[in-house]
Amino acid sequence: MSRPGWRDRIEAARAQREASSRVRVRRTVTLRDGARCLVDGRSLLNFCGNDYLGLSQHFAVVGALQDAASREGAGGVGSHLVCGHHQLHDALEREVADWLGTPRALLFGSGYLANLAVVQALLGDEDVCVQDRLNHASLIDAARLAGCRLRRYPHADAEGAIRQLRSMPEGAAMLATDGVFSMDGDIAPLRELALVARVQKALLYVDDAHGIGVVGPDGRGSVAASKLGANDVPLQLATLGKALGGYGAVVAGDADLIQHLSETARSYIYTTALPPAQAAASLAAVKLARAEHWRRTKLDELIGRFRERAQRAGLELMDSQTAIQPVICGDDDTALAMAAGLEQAGYWVAAIRPPTVPEGRARLRVTLSALHGVADVDGLVEAMAKSRERIRLGLVETARREAVLAR
């Protein structure tokens, strides 16, 4: 028997990533102050986080966390079905269900766990999960874990979805899609997909991680923005770690389906409950998101301003009206060089490369927050235009060397 050595395998994989400019590097944040971060010793204006409403540092959210921790401690103690389910978990589930207009909701430790739970608990070997090609990785992994047949359709193509469902007429079927797509920032055609699901007797599941809090009436997400309800979308995911500024996720929807998840979903049953203090913080954040409409109004104004300024500067944008504003660079080196140039100018914007996005579509993923100001947005666009111009003048390698020295 001749097995490949693990060290040889990982070294070869590393060399391949280096050759294609796809090495991922962690950055260390030592201080957060509003939209600013101290990153590896440099003060940068953060345009790559997901704190869309600026709630992660809100005094009421932090205060709720501290107060609950002083009473309940730092941990979740046990799984929900053993001894870990706390009244604060229950209160958060009820608040989210009321906000989204669904009968019930169920709290999970993360959006990743929630997606694993939904697909694994509802589909088996003889079933099919039809998904948008640009769905989040957790939905893809969820279908693989469930052991069901995974079929993918072209991005935002409802006709493609129905073709895939028709090709698999036997067994139970789920149609799963992101609500707001995390790398493109566009919104799924949910009304068309709801019709497809109804005609094909498939369960429509919407992962609205990037829509909840910022899209639709009262921030109720892309499902509400599409004028759909629990009868049309029996299950939807609301993350707590993006617009709500905390951690964890909630699956909301049909009461019987939620009960089934609570009794059978492995990633719910076999893991420690979210700390009650974190649930208290998220409960405070949900109440703020429901009440403080000015945050969404300000965010919408910043989105419009960024798009207008960026288009005027000749930057290539995608068709997104959300807080996620991708700026297409094309090749990996250009994206990395532009990100390096922005960092030199004091802006933190992530360069997103394949396989996270398609080949030839490397980009800067700009994310906007209610914490940003007009001057911040204007300064970012100006810095992006200057960075792009430097690259056009053939200074890609110079920009990358400067970034290395700055670290």
Active site residues per annotation: 182, 210, 242
Instruction: Write the CA distances from 159 to 12, 58, 189, 273, integer angstroms.
Output: 41, 43, 11, 40
Is 112 assigned to a binding site?
A: yes
Is 247 assigned to a binding site?
A: no
Is 21 assigned to a binding site?
A: no
8 Å CB contact between 222 and 208: yes
Burial of residue 44, with CB atoms counted within 10 A of its CB: 0-12 exposed, 13-18 middle, 19 or more buried: buried
Instruction: Write the CA distances from 354 to 47, 112, 239, 330, 331, integer angstroms.
Output: 20, 20, 25, 11, 10
Is 155 assigned to a binding site?
A: no
Q: Which two tokens stand for residue 162?
A: 């129905």
Gap between the Cα atoms of 407 and 25, Å rounded:
12
Is 111 assigned to a binding site?
A: yes
Residue 233 gets which letter from DSSP? Answer: -
The CA angle 143-149-152, to the nearest 5 degrees, is 75
Instruction: Write the CA distances from 45 to 55, 85, 365, integer angstroms.
Output: 17, 38, 14
Q: Show Cβ contacts of residue 288 under 8 Å, excluding neighbours closer than 6 positions.
A: 53, 55, 58, 60, 61
* Coil/strand/helix, residue 104: strand
Gap between the Cα atoms of 138 and 143, Å rounded:
9
Gap between the Cα atoms of 112 and 139, Å rounded:
8
Could you tell me how many helices (H) and strands (E) the chain has, helices first? 15, 14
Secondary structure of 304-335 in HEC code, one letter for each residue: HHHHHHHHHCCCCECCCCCCEEEEEEECHHHH
Q: List residues forming the annotated binding site.
A: 24, 111-112, 136, 182, 210, 239, 356
Q: List residues forming the annotated binding site for pyridoxal 5'-phosphate.
A: 111-112, 182, 210, 239
Q: List residues forming the annotated binding site for substrate.
A: 24, 136, 356
